[in-house]
Structure 1
Amino acid sequence: MDKTIHRFHDLFAQLGLPYDNVSIEQFIGSHSPLAPEVKLPEASFWTPAQATFLREACMQDADWAGLADQLNVALRKPTHP
């Protein structure tokens, strides 16, 4: 049984995005707030592969689902200048 614990930056690495703290903050800041009616995998800024990964992670309640939920919440918060 795989007991790997993934961290938030691991999700960004899995998505092929820069995963240092500054890059993560910049990504969230530049894509927030995500409109309430847009599901996370359907956001326009994902590549098809990234969207598929997020969709499958959530549908299969995979190890990544909790981190995808965390990203979803982070992207819903309004950014402050």
Structure 2
Amino acid sequence: MDSPTHDLKGLFDQLGLDSSPTAIDAFIEQHSPLPDDVRMIDADFWTPQQAAFLKEELREDADWARVVDELNLRLHQRR
């Protein structure tokens, strides 16, 4: 059985954030670049519930882990 395919729009929906392409880009622009020593899941802009979801998905290497990694990379990129 194939795993579900998730994307950034779906992740933002899951986190209760605006998931329009413009809003996703604005979120990343507003919060990046994260310092190299700050893990995305520990960033102070997440609510406790959002942070818990992100941590759980990564710890369990769950369906959302690939998309969480993608967001992590985008938030750490220097522009």
Alignment TM class, shorter chain as reference: over 0.9
Runs of 4+ deviating beyond 4 Å? none
Q: TM-score, normalised by structure 1?
A: 0.91
Give the RMSD, CA atoms, in angstroms: 1.2
Partner residue in 1 for 2:63? 63
Q: Secondary structure at the match of 1:17?
A: coil
Q: TM-score, normalised by structure 2?
A: 0.93
For 1:2 and 1:15, the matched residues in 2 are separated by: 23
Letter in 2 for 1:3: S
For 1:52 and 1:2, the matched residues in 2 are separated by: 25
| Percent identity (aligned) | 46
Gaps of 5+ in 1: none
Give the drift of 1:70: 0.0
Give the drift of 1:48: 0.2
How many residues matched?
79
For 2:28 and 2:70, the matched residues in 1 are separated by: 11
Give the drift of 1:4: 2.0
Gaps of 5+ in 2: none
